[in-house]
Amino acid sequence: MKNMKHVLSILSLVVLTACGGGSGGDNIPPTATVIKGVASKGLINKGTVNVFALNENGSKGALLGSGSTDDSGAYNISIGSYTGSVLVEAYGGYTDEATGMPAFVPASAPLRAALANAVGTVSLSVTPLTDLAVREAGTLTKENITIANTVVSNIFKIDVTTTAPAAPTAAAFNADTTTQAQKDYALALAAVSQLMQTGDNDLATTLTNLSSGIGQAGMTMQTIATFTAAAKGFIQDNPNNLTGVASIAGTSLQTIGSTAMLSVVLQGSGAVSVKGVQGIITLPSGVTMQADTTGKVTNGISTPASGTLDCKYSAVSNGTPASVTFGYISSGNLTAGDLIILTVNISPGTSVPAVNAFAISSSKLVDADGVVVSSASLALR
């Protein structure tokens, strides 16, 4: 799984032989597994939804059931006595929030959502955000699905699997039964549409670009800034915004940037010779890291490589900016790419800084004999 080394505790599951299928609704046996939810990019009207089994190795298995969405994007499909991991795909027509024009999710590139444990009646939205989670999971094993759904939900401050996005209209947003999470979900999907128009890309390309900025530590600062700008563009400036929301303030989109991912990248032809790295990262105003009383970073630091990593955080003091001093010793063979991933905290009211607002200094890279490797260097992204 892309950049995912931490392990979540998950329930052991028993996958039974697939049986039955077809659209849900009337006469569903009491023991049937039922997948229901909303398919939206905005709301997919009279679209097609297919539910597939997932094999233990994460590969796509048999078609368990198919159904269609109603006018509000809702679907309800029984998959018989099957229990276990599923992949749901949805495609069809919708009204694009950013343009107000009819649009279509094609069958060749459907929106996807994955669930690690489908048993009984379960809710599963199928949206661009759940598709991001599928992309983040990579191989769709139970563990990878659970982690990826959690990562994307944490980024957007919405449970992207169980929350049903609201229709992007004032009537839906003003309804007493509509929760703030449902409104925020709809606005996030509208931001994806705004991003599509800004980049002149189709949905699949837009999601690929967003996915490249997501890892176990969250979203990169550049991706956060890009997505936040699109959200503000839709909410504040787009005449096709029919939700009645005029400001990003008070929505979960405002807090996407409360944490951000910063990578220390090893680069250069000599990267394979590097065994030890040290350096200092200067943090811009309003950016901090979680540390204990000694300054040791206690959370938000990881490495995709094998080795020993230690970081110390120094807060702002007497005009000296905050900084992180890091040291890394490799226990394997390194290659060029992300070496250290930091999750930084951004104070409320502080705009997400650009990567060039951070600075790396006093860096030293050595080989197994302690000799400086001059043909390799460190950068931030």
The CATH number for 88's domain is 2.60.40.10
CA dist 364 and 372 (Å) reads 7
Determine the Cα–Cα distance for residues 112 and 86; give it in Å rounded to an integer: 10
One domain for residues 102 and 192: no
Residue 108 burial class via C-beta count within 10 angstroms: exposed 0-12, middle 13-18, buried 19 and up: exposed
Q: Write down which residue in 90, 122, 156 finishes a domain.
A: 156
Structural domain total, the chain: 3
Instruction: State the pLDDT confidence band at 30, using cuts at 50, 70 and 90.
Output: low
Q: Which amino acid is at 240?
A: N
238 and 273 co-located in one domain: no
pTM, two decimals, is 0.75
**What confidence score (pLDDT) does residue 252 get?**
87
Q: Which sign, positive or negative, has the C-alpha torsion 106, 109, 111, 113?
A: positive
Asked whether residue 367 is assigned to any structural domain, the reply reads yes
Q: Strands 121-123 and 218-219: what pairing? A: unpaired
Same domain for 252 and 238, yes or no, is yes
pLDDT(17) > 70: no
If asked whether residues 77 and 102 sit together in one domain, one would say yes
Last residue of a domain, one of 211, 233, 257: 257
| Structural tokens at position 125 | 């939205």
Within this chain, do residues 108 and 149 fall inside the same structural domain, yes or no? Answer: yes
What pLDDT, in 10s, does the model give residues 60-74?
A: 999 999 999 999 999
If you search the block for the tokens 């837009």, which residue do you land on?
A: 206
SS3 category, 104: strand
Find the mean pLDDT for residues 235-255: 93
pLDDT of 367 above 70: yes
Same domain, yes or no, for 52 and 105?
A: yes
Give residue-wise pLDDT tens across range 71-110.
Answer: 999 999 999 999 999 999 999 999 999 999 999 999 999 9
Query: Does residue 324 lie within any of the structural domains?
Result: yes
Domain identity same for 203 and 148: no
Q: What range does the domain containing 124 cover? A: 34-156
Checking if the pLDDT of 179 tops 60, the result is yes
Instruction: Give the mean pLDDT of 292-300.
Output: 85
| b/e burial code for range 123-137 (CB count within 10 A of at least 16 → b) | ebbbbbbbbbbbbbb
Mean pLDDT of all residues in 298-303:
80
Whether the pLDDT of residue 2 is over 50: the answer is: no
Rounded to an integer, what distance in angstroms lies between the CA atom of residue 171 and that of residue 175?
A: 6
| 110 shares its domain with 59 | yes
Q: Residue 145: CB partners within 8 Å, gap ≥ 6?
A: 54, 85, 114, 115, 116, 133, 137
CATH number at residue 317: 2.60.40.680
Domain boundary among 200, 229, 257: 257
Q: Are residues 57 and 141 in the same domain?
A: yes
Is residue 22 assigned to a domain? no
Task: Enumerate the H helices of the chain as residue ranges.
Answer: 128-137, 142-156, 170-174, 180-199, 203-211, 221-232
Angle at 4 between CA 298 and CA 121, to 5 degrees: 110
For residue 280, list its beta bridge partners: 325, 361
Same domain, 238 and 265: no
pLDDT tier at 20, thresholds 50, 70, 90: very low
Residue 309 lies in a domain: yes
Residues 129 and 215 in one domain: no
